[in-house]
Amino acid sequence: MAGLKPGTVLSLLTGLGNGYDLAAAGDAPLLLGGGVGVPPLYLLAKELRAQNKAVRVILGFNTKEEIFYENEFRALSCQVTVTTVDGSYGIKGFVTDALPRDYSYFYTCGPLPMLKSVYRSTKTSGEFSLEERMGCGFGACMGCSMKVKDLSGKSPDGIIFKRVCKEGPVFKKEELLWED
C-alpha cells in the first residue's frame, strides 16, 4: 500500500471486531504491552492522554535491542517502565514483575503466555486484546471461536462461544476462562 498513488480506490473490509473501552479506564489506567502487542497500546495511550488520564505503561521485551516505542510513550507524558527478560535494560523480568500497587484499570496486548500471567497477577478489572488464528476474519467460519463466561446470564451453563475476529479481539478479564 505504501506504493499506491493518492486517489487510488481500494476495496477493503475493515473495522471488524471491537476495541478497548475508554470509559472503563478510571483516572489511572495501566497499559501492559509485550513485543508486537505494544503498537496497539500506543493509540490507546494517545486517546487516554487526550482525556487527561494519568497513564502508566509497562513494556516488555526479551532484550534491549528489541525495545521500541519507549520514547513515543514518554513524549505523550506517560509514566513508562521497561522490562527485559535478559535484564539488559530496565527491570529484569516480565511486565508482571513491574506491576504497580495502584491503578484503576488495565489494558493489555501481547503474546498469550504474557496475557495469562497478567490475568493471574492483576487485581482489578481490565481488558485483553487476544490474537487467534482466523480463517475468514469476519465471523463466518467460526474458526477463531473460544469459550468465555456469559456475562449476560442468558446461557444455562454460564458458558458461550465468542469469535475473536467479530466479538473480540478485546475481552474483559471477567469473561476469560483462564485459571486464577
Question: What CATH number is attached to the domain comprising 37?
Answer: 3.40.50.80
Which cell goes with 160? Answer: 458461550
Residue 127 Cα distances to 30, 39, 106, 174, angstroms: 11, 16, 6, 9
Distance of CA 96 to the CA centre of its chain: 14
Model confidence, pTM: 0.91
Do 98 and 143 sit in the same domain of this protein? no
> Looking at the domain assignment, is residue 179 inside a domain?
no
Question: pLDDT, tens digit, for every residue of 157-166?
Answer: 999 999 999 9
Q: What percent of the chain has pLDDT over 90?
A: 87
Do 148 and 68 sit in the same domain of this protein? no
> Looking at the domain assignment, is residue 99 inside a domain?
yes
Query: With 0-12 CB in 10 A as exposed, 13-18 as middle and 19+ as buried, what is 75?
Result: exposed
Do 106 and 35 sit in the same domain of this protein? yes
Distance of CA 177 to the CA centre of its chain: 17
Beta bridge partners of 119: none
Q: How far apart are the first and last CA of the chain?
A: 43
Q: Return the pLDDT at 167.
A: 94
DSSP 8-state assignment for residue 174: G
Give the three-class secondary structure for 1. coil
> Looking at the domain assignment, is residue 83 inside a domain?
yes
Question: pLDDT, tens digit, for every residue of 47-79?
Answer: 999 999 999 999 999 999 999 999 999 999 999
> Looking at the domain assignment, is residue 71 inside a domain?
yes
Do 124 and 145 sit in the same domain of this protein? no
The residue assigned the cell 514483575 is: 97
Q: Return the pLDDT at 180.
A: 58
Who contacts 117 (Cβ-Cβ below 8 Å, separation ≥6)? 94, 95, 96
Do 141 and 160 sit in the same domain of this protein? yes
Alpha helices in 25-156 (DSSP H): 38-50, 70-75, 112-121
Q: What percent of the chain has pLDDT over 70?
A: 99
Q: Return the pLDDT at 2.
A: 86
Rounded Cα distance, 27 and 124, in Å: 13
Do 40 and 75 sit in the same domain of this protein? yes
Number of domains making up the chain: 2
> Looking at the domain assignment, is residue 180 inside a domain?
no
Domain residue limits at 149? 133-167
